[in-house]
A and B are shown apart, each in its own frame.
Chain A
Amino acid sequence: MKRREAVQYISLLLGGTIIGTSYFLEGCKSKTGVSMAFTPDDVSYLDEIADTILPPTKTPGAKAAKVGQFMTVMVNDCYDADDQKIFHEGMGKLDDFANKTYNDSFMKLNPQQRHDLLVKLDGEQKDYMAKKKKEDPTHYFRMMKELTLLGYFTSEIGCTQARRYVETPGRFDGCVDYKKGDKAWA
């Protein structure tokens, strides 16, 4: 596909960073979407998954940035029917995995258990994505992780607290000193 090319082209045109590179162009494939409804419980569940992927540190985590809600908007509006199905089924699979591993649902696990579980799942996702054939579907946890990163780092918290956002920089300095630990510009 031309996505990579196009992303690079935008980067050139806009002179650098763009919003949501991983999502910008391939957002939706051209099939009519069948919306599957998310419940408020689903939003809480997705918030906790997101907060395990990007937890609070010195800066707020993904739950504070309302990433669960964001994921539902993106899946409803931007995913095609096949991907919506994978995502919804994936929510069940993730909980099955929790039950299998800890004999309890994900929501009942403590933060360390959640972390360990999703580390395993991320490993599985990486293996699958590396080996899969082009026409094979995306792994559901890959979807959750990508949406979490996009949703968090483009949120107000992700831009103004996790990173640094200056709406109107006023000038360009092409060469400033950088110390390890300084945040990126949003």
Chain B
Amino acid sequence: MADNTYDAIVIGSGISGGWAAKELTEKGLKTIMLERGENIEHVKDYVNATKGPWEFPHRGGRTQEMIKTHPVLKRDYPLNEMNLNWWVDEQKSPYTEIKRFDWFRGYHVGGRSLLWGRQSYRWSDLAFEANARDGIAIDWPIRYKDIEPWYTYVEKFAGISGSKEGLQQLPDSHFLPAMEMNCVEKDVSARINDHYKAKRMIIGRTANITEPLPGRTNCQYRNKCWLGCPFGAYFSTQSSTLPAAMATKNLTLRPWSIVTKILYDKDTKKATGVEVLDAETNKTYQYFAKIIFLNASTFNSTWILMNSATDIWPDGLGSSSGELGHNIMDHHLGVGASGTVDGYDDKYYYGRRANGIYVPQYRNILGDKRDYLRGFGYQGGASREGWSRNVAEMNIGGDFKDALAEPGQWTMGMGGFGEILPYHENKITLDKNKKDAWGLNVLAFDAEWKDNEKKMRVDMQNDAVEMLQAAGVKNVKGHEGDGTIGRGIHEMGTARMGSDPKTSVLNKWNQVWDAPNVFVTDGSFMVSANCVNPSLTYMAMTARAVDHAVSELKKHNL
């Protein structure tokens, strides 16, 4: 039993779990990090990272077999030949869709920190105050001043490249040098900013480092991030937080560990540890600690809570508010515009920049008012067309081949990321009739967009068209796909924080109201979604929560 006792347990090893492990171990706590999937070792296990396109038998595409075995992943770009093993095995881990929900998961050490899009933006008070201002859901229990020092803290370690812009709705980070826009982006950006008399288009802010950091090389512009970076040039658990945690000698990493429940002591009203099902042997183990950080990813953290302390609360630990599992959010996308750009035939670029341009939110803030709530940002970029372009006047033959071997027309496009409101009725529940490969009940999803999101999408398309036309882009066409909820891969909510235990699952320090030594710091805690990519906020909130946890522990309050 003594062997299974630690100071702290971290459940999950993705972006927020990695941060929890780093912070806890650096503060001297003996910590075990439990990961449900396999280990992936930095560099050594990035087996496809240096392959040329020709080394993949289907050149990265998808086979009939892959489609058959990945009924969810096939719905969008994640199903591909190059990093297939880093996406969940859907046959072993199914889920139920009362309404369609695209859930793209990564069950392995590092989680989706290996696969993420790396765009990193701070929230502002315009976003933290939005729920209170609009009378939606509940107010955030924190404001920008509470998180600001923690943004700086995590940015210094993670490494975020970007440009200082002084925008109220998008506070500047502690930046490494910004990546460069290409010629067309510079021109389009200048024209748009001039047209709207505002800073509309900036370079994307990304967790790819543009100067070396300890143990990491700056970005080499290979644009193969999601195969794992042999240079450690983008932030992941493997490149960043895990080596730091390991260096303290306070961390034990246990892969293949499915946490099935948190052990709860009703006398002390605290958690005592966790129960683990070994995914390889199917044996059950218990681990004990004073502090538990729940970072199993949005929905899976809530799944663990739903399965915990059910003798006291039938719907699980944290369910006393009636909000556990509710208020699912994501960002809605798949809508924007693109067109062609004349006049730059004598210009090109060198290097594959894994970043694009960004248009921060401008709707419904700073004096703007629409017939819907909240707003959206755009990500996009300009490039010259490749070999797959249509060459209408040519059929086949040598001239056709040589023409396609040259870069084509410049194009410029952008797609929106819109805020989804927190609707109480958008929820996950346990499906008692369906089990995964380990005999565990799976989650059932019942969530959808509503009128507010649909109205916003009209603007998202029209604004993109207008903006590109204003910049002189030709042949501008708007586009909109169905972009099902979940497709943003920015899952948020289901264990929101708040100021009142009657309406929230967590307090302002990410502690479960009903078990204060349990901290939930992945996307589950989010109270509203804003329209910016959320991971940077999870990092900052995790570091903040660990600081609070350890300080409370020292005061013997936990």
Q: Are B61 and A169 in contact (CB under 8 A)?
A: no
Closest to A169 in B: B351
A78 touches B (CB below 8 Å):
yes
**Do A33 and B352 form a contact, CB below 8 Å, given A59-B405, A174-B185, A186-B53?**
no
**Contact among A11, A19, A27, A176 for B67, CB-based, below 8 A:** A27
Q: Are B350 and A169 in contact (CB under 8 A)?
A: yes
A138 touches B (CB below 8 Å):
no
Binding-face segment, B11-19, B288-296, B330-338, B447-455: B330-338
| Residues on the A chain within 8 Å of B501, using CB | none
| Residues on the A chain within 8 Å of B76, using CB | 2, 6, 9, 25
- Using an 8 Å CB-CB cutoff, how does the interface string of A9-34 with B read, 1 for contact, 0 for none? 11111111111111111011010110
Closest chain A CB from B86 CB (angstroms) = 15
Closest chain B CB from A81 CB (angstroms) = 9
Closest to B353 in A: A172
| Residues on the A chain within 8 Å of B400, using CB | 53-54
Binding-face segment, B190-198, B376-384, B517-525: B376-384
**Contact among B117, B351, B380, B483 for A171, CB-based, below 8 A:** B351
**Contact among A150, A174, A182 for B180, CB-based, below 8 A:** A174
A92 touches B (CB below 8 Å):
no
How many angstroms between the C-alpha atoms of A65 and B191 in the bound complex?
44
**Contact among A6, A23, A56, A118 for B61, CB-based, below 8 A:** A23
Closest to A58 in B: B402
| Residues on the A chain within 8 Å of B4, using CB | none
User: Number of contacting residues on A, CB 8 A?
Assistant: 84
Closest to B334 in A: A5
A135 touches B (CB below 8 Å):
no
Q: Are B479 and A24 in contact (CB under 8 A)?
A: no
- Using an 8 Å CB-CB cutoff, how does the interface string of B396-409 with A read, 1 for contact, 0 for none? 11101110111110
Closest to B225 in A: A14
Closest to B411 in A: A11
| Residues on the B chain within 8 Å of A32, using CB | 64, 68
Closest to A151 in B: B59
Of A33, A80, A154, chain B has the most CB atoms within 10 Å of the CB of A154
**Contact among A4, A10, A28 for B63, CB-based, below 8 A:** A28
Closest chain A CB from B327 CB (angstroms) = 26
Closest to B383 in A: A16
| Residues on the A chain within 8 Å of B345, using CB | 178, 180
Closest chain B CB from A10 CB (angstroms) = 4
Q: Are B379 and A12 in contact (CB under 8 A)?
A: yes
**Do A178 and B352 form a contact, CB below 8 Å, given A20-B388, A30-B68, A170-B220?**
no
**Contact among B66, B186, B397, B405 for A163, CB-based, below 8 A:** B405
Closest to B481 in A: A5
**Do A77 and B64 form a contact, CB below 8 Å, given A13-B117, A61-B401?**
yes
Closest chain B CB from A141 CB (angstroms) = 10
Q: Which of B309-352 contact A (CB under 8 A)?
A: 333-334, 336, 338, 345-352
A39 touches B (CB below 8 Å):
no
- Using an 8 Å CB-CB cutoff, how does the interface string of B47-65 with A read, 1 for contact, 0 for none? 0001011101111111111
A40 touches B (CB below 8 Å):
no
Q: Are A30 and B181 in contact (CB under 8 A)?
A: no
Q: Are B381 and A154 in contact (CB under 8 A)?
A: no
| Residues on the A chain within 8 Å of B386, using CB | 17, 21, 153, 184
Q: Which of B12-58 contact A (CB under 8 A)?
A: 50, 52-54, 56-58
**Contact among A27, A57, A122, A149 for B62, CB-based, below 8 A:** A27
Q: Are B406 and A181 in contact (CB under 8 A)?
A: yes
**Contact among A12, A78, A172 for B413, CB-based, below 8 A:** A12
A115 touches B (CB below 8 Å):
yes
**Contact among B57, B60, B62 for A28, CB-based, below 8 A:** B62
Q: Are B350 and A12 in contact (CB under 8 A)?
A: no
**Do A119 and B220 form a contact, CB below 8 Å, given A15-B355, A16-B383, A176-B349?**
no
Q: Are A12 and B415 in contact (CB under 8 A)?
A: yes
| Residues on the B chain within 8 Å of A169, using CB | 220-222, 350-352
Closest to A119 in B: B395
**Contact among A53, A149, A151 for B388, CB-based, below 8 A:** A149
Closest to A1 in B: B481
Q: Which of A74-105 contact B (CB under 8 A)?
A: 74, 77-80
Closest to B66 in A: A28
- Using an 8 Å CB-CB cutoff, how does the interface string of B133-149 with A read, 1 for contact, 0 for none? 00000000000000000
Of A2, A23, A27, A181, chain B has the most CB atoms within 10 Å of the CB of A27
**Do A15 and B352 form a contact, CB below 8 Å, given A77-B63, A78-B61?**
yes
A123 touches B (CB below 8 Å):
yes
Q: Which of A124-174 contact B (CB under 8 A)?
A: 145, 149-156, 158-160, 162-163, 165-174
Closest chain A CB from B488 CB (angstroms) = 10
B285 touches A (CB below 8 Å):
no
How many angstroms between the C-alpha atoms of A150 and B349 in the bound complex?
23
How many angstroms between the C-alpha atoms of A13 and B59 in the bound complex?
19
How many angstroms between the C-alpha atoms of A160 and B407 in the bound complex?
15
**Contact among B186, B353, B388 for A21, CB-based, below 8 A:** B388
How many angstroms between the C-alpha atoms of A167 and B51 in the bound complex?
9
**Do A78 and B64 form a contact, CB below 8 Å, given A6-B77, A9-B415, A182-B348?**
yes
Of all A-B residue pairs in the complex, the 3 with the closest CB atoms, nearest first, are A5-B481, A172-B351, A169-B351
B residues sitting closer than 8 Å to A (CB atoms) are 50, 52-54, 56-68, 75-77, 80, 117, 179-183, 185-186, 220-223, 226, 333-334, 336, 338, 345-356, 379-381, 383-384, 386-388, 395-398, 400-402, 404-408, 413-415, 479-483
Q: List 7 A-B contacts (CB under 8 A).
A: A12-B413, A12-B414, A16-B223, A28-B63, A57-B402, A171-B350, A176-B349
Other contacts beyond A77-B58, A154-B60: 18, CB < 8 A: A6-B76, A13-B77, A15-B355, A27-B61, A28-B66, A28-B67, A57-B401, A73-B57, A78-B64, A118-B395, A149-B387, A153-B405, A156-B54, A163-B405, A167-B52, A175-B347, A177-B347, A178-B346
